[in-house]
Amino acid sequence: MHTSTPGVSQIGGPQYEKIIDEKFLNSNSDVYRLESFRSTGTVSSSSSSQLRCYFIAKVVFPNPEPTPEQCRDIKAVSDESFMNRATENTIAIYQRVINNALVRTGPVIEAFGVDGSQEKRLVIGYKRGTTQNFFSALSDLYHYYDLYSTRKYVEQFSNGITIVSLYLNRLADSKQPPIDHTITQVLKEASLIYCLPTTPLQGFFKTNELSVQETIYGYIGWIFAQHFLNRLGSEFSTLLKILDRSNPAHAEVISKIKKRLRQETFTRDYILDIIKSYPELIKLLYVNFAMVHYIVPEENSLRPTLSYQRIRTETVMTEEELLAKIRKDTSNTHECMVLESFLTFNKHVLKTNFYQPTKVAISFRMNPDFLPTIEYSNKLYGMFFIIGSEFRGFHLRFRDVARGGIRVIRSRNREAYSINLRSLFDENYALAATQQRKNKDIPEGGSKGTILLDNDKQDKASVAFEKYVDAILDLLIIGQSPGIKEKIVDLHGKPEILFFGPDEGTADFMDWASSHARERGASFWKAFTTGKSQALGGIPHDLFGMTTRSVHQYVLGIYKKLGLSESECTKLQTGGPDGDLGSNEIKISRDKTIGIVDGSGVLYDPHGIDRPELLRLANGRLMISAFDISKLSADGYRVLVDERDVRLPTGEMVADGLAFRNSYHLNPQAAALVFVPCGGRPESVDIDNVHRLLEEDGTPGSSTSSRAPTSSSPRTPASAWRRPGPSSSRTPQPTRVA
C-alpha cells in the first residue's frame, strides 16, 4: 500500500509495480494473480494523494493440466478465487479473450464501456511468458495520455493465458482528446509496449519528452546504428586498395582492422548517449518515418479513428531539411553520424509491422542497398530486421527464391553476448553467402536467419523463434488476415515467399512454423519450412541426420581412398551430443572418438571414449557434463568450463576451464586422424594460429607448437573445416583429415 497521485508515474521513487513484475508476474515457476485498488478519498484534506493497494496471491489451479478441450472452457482453467468473485459479464468477456488468445501469437486487446460512468475497461490477453514487465509498462502508457486507473487485475489461467484488466478514467484537467479517442490510442500502442516493455529510453517516455512510438523508434534506431553505422572511413578504403585481398595474410589484417574500427570507435553506450542528447531530433526523425509508413484510417472506416498526435503537431521536414538540421544542431562528426544513421534507416525501410495492433515483435523489410560494397561485395537480394523483447535477428537472402536455416544464438555470459552481438550481422551474411555458393548448381539461392537471444533471455529460444516467424509473416501475407491485421505500406511492391530450414537450436520448431503459417492463411505454408515431420509432408532433418549423413559419407569416401578401417580411425569432434549434428555424428559413426568439445567443456580419452556412454548422451541430447567419468580410462579426463585448477593425468594443470575449452582445437592432445566440426567457434582459426594445425610442409598435422593459445569467440561455422586434407599414409597417423 502506498500514496499515489492519479495520473502520475512514480518517477524517482519506489517503482512498486516494476518490483511486482520482476518478483511475481515475470516468474517462470510459480504463478501469481493480482488485484489493485485506488481509494476514493485522499490521505488528508490538504493532499491530493490517494491510497493504492496491491493484493498478490499465489495461484492454485484445481485443474493444473487441462485437456485441449478444457483449455477453451474458462471454468475448467480458472483459479478458484477468480470464479468466486467474477461477475457473469466478466466471465463472458474473459472467455472471448481466452478463445482468441489461444489461437493468436500476439496479444488480444479490447476496450469496453462501464455502465453508468465515463470509465473505460481495457482487457488484454496473451500467452504467459511471452512478455516481461508488461504490467508496469502499461501504467506508464496510460499515464502519458492523462489517464489513471481505479482498479487493476492480473488473472492467470492453467491453459497458459494471462489477462490484464484495467479500469481507466481521464484526469479532470486533461487537455488530451475525448477519452474514447485516447483509449483507441492506448489500444494501438499497447501492442508496442507488449513487444518492447522497457528500453534504455524509457525515462523520456515517463517524463513525456517522447511518446511511446518515439521511444521505441529511438530504440530501434539505436540497434540499427550498432550494426550498420559506417565507421571505417576513407582511410580503410585506401588500405584496401594497397593490400591484396586475395592474400590470406592481407585479408586477415583487413578483417581485424575492420573489427577494431567498428568496436572501438562507436560503442553501444556511446551511441546511446548521443541519442539521449537529442530527443527533439528523434521526434523529427520519427515523423519522417511515420509519414511514410503510418496509414491514416479512411473517414468512412468502421474502425475508430486513430490520430498519432506527434504527426499532427510536429513540423514535417523533408530529408534534406532534416539532414541540414542534424548537421547544424549536433556538436561533432560522431553525433552527426549517429543521427544520420536514423535517416539511412528511414530511407531503406520498404515495409514494417510497426503500426500493426497484434504484432509480437517489430519487423522491417529493408532495402539492403545501404550496405557498403567495400565490406559486403556480394549484393543481398532481401533483408529482414526483427526486434523483440527477448532477441534481435536478421534474415538475409541472395536470390528471390532462396533457402537456408534459422539459427538461435545463445551466449554463456555477458562477454560472449557482446561478442555475438558485434558479429551478428556479419555472421548471418557469411552463412547466407556460404549457402549461396553451395547452391550454385541448383535454382535455389542461399539464405540464412539468425536470432540472438538477449543476455538475460537464454531460456526463451522457443518464444523468440515464434515471435521472429510471426513478425516476418506480418510482412509476407499482407492483408490476408482481415479483422486482425491492418494494411501496411509496401514499397517493395512484389509478393515475397521465404523458405526456412532447421539450424542450431531450431530443429524442433519447424512443425510449429509450418502450422502457424497455415493458421495465418499463408498459401505457401507447406513449403515454408523444411525439416518438418512427415505428418506435415516433410522430412525431419534431425531424425534422419541429413547433414551429418552427407558429411559422413564424404569421410567414408576418404577412408576408402586411403584404405583405412573406420573403427581404427581416431577422431576429434566439436559440437557435443546435445546438438543436432553432434548427436547424429555419434549415432552413425563407428570410429575411435578420443575428444569431444561442447558448450560445457572438454572430454578426452586417448584410448577412445566409451561408445555406449556417448550413445546414452546422444539419445538424451545431453552435454558432456552429464558423462559418467567412471567410464574414462586412467589417461582420460573431463574439464568443464566453470572448473579451475584441474590437474590432468599427464600432470598438466588447467588454470581456467573456459580458456582450455576455447583453445582445445589447437591443443597437441587433440591431434587425431579426423576432425569433425558439428558446431564450433567463429574466428577460432586465424593468421596467428593456423600454423598450429599444420606440419612444417603445410600438410594437416598434429598441433605441436608450444605457443600460448589465441583466445577465440564463442562459435564457428561448421563449413570452415569441411575440406579434405592430403595424406600419403595408408595407416592411421596423428594427422587431421577435416
Give the number of other CB atoms < 10 A from CB of residue 116.
Answer: 6
State the DSSP H helix or E strand holding residue 604, giving kind and residue range, or none if neither.
strand 601-604
Q: In 243-352, which ranges are E strands?
A: 349-352
Could you tell me the strand order of the sheet in which 50-58 lies?
2-4, 50-58, 32-42, 147-156, 161-170, 120-127, 108-113
Give the number of other CB atoms < 10 A from CB of residue 594.
Answer: 23
How far is it, in rounded angstroms, from Cα 98 to Cα 159? 9
How far is it, in rounded angstroms, from Cα 615 to Cα 78? 44
Category of 575 on φ-ψ map: left (φ > 0), alpha (ψ -120 to 50) or beta: left
Tally of residues, the chain: 738
Kindly report the CA angle at 199 between 197 and 201, in degrees rounded to 5? 130
Active-site choice (188, 283, 351, 448): 448
Active site annotation includes 328: no
State the DSSP H helix or E strand holding residue 56, giving kind and residue range, or none if neither.
strand 50-58
**Pairing outcome for strands 50-58 and 499-502:** unpaired
The residues, ordered by sequence, that sit 6+ positions from 78 with a Cβ below 8 Å of its Cβ are: 61, 155, 157, 158
How far is it, in rounded angstroms, from Cα 399 to Cα 499? 12
The residues, ordered by sequence, that sit 6+ positions from 50 with a Cβ below 8 Å of its Cβ are: 3, 4, 5, 6, 38, 39, 40, 41, 42, 43
Give the number of other CB atoms < 10 A from CB of residue 389.
Answer: 25
Paired strand residues for 151: 37, 167
Q: How far is CA 65 from the centre of its chain?
A: 29
Q: How far is CA 354 from the centre of its chain?
A: 17
CA dist list (Å): 477 to 188, 482, 490: 21, 11, 11
Half-sphere CA count of 237, side-chain side, radius 13 A: 7
Nearest Cα to Cα of residue 570 among 736, 722, 692, 728:
736
CB 575 within 8 A of CB 623: no
Q: How many helices (H) and strands (E) does the chain have?
A: 24, 21
**Pairing outcome for strands 570-574 and 674-677:** parallel
Amino acid found at 204: F
Paired strand residues for 162: 126, 156
Amino acid found at 582: G
Provide Rg for the chain, Cα atoms.
Answer: 29
Half-sphere CA count of 171, side-chain side, radius 13 A: 16
The residues, ordered by sequence, that sit 6+ positions from 456 with a Cβ below 8 Å of its Cβ are: none
SS3 content of the chain, % helix, strand, coil (to 5): 40, 20, 40
Burial class (CB in 10 A: 0-12, 13-18, 19+), 23: exposed
How far is it, in rounded angstroms, from Cα 632 to Cα 639? 13
- Kindly list the catalytic residues: 448
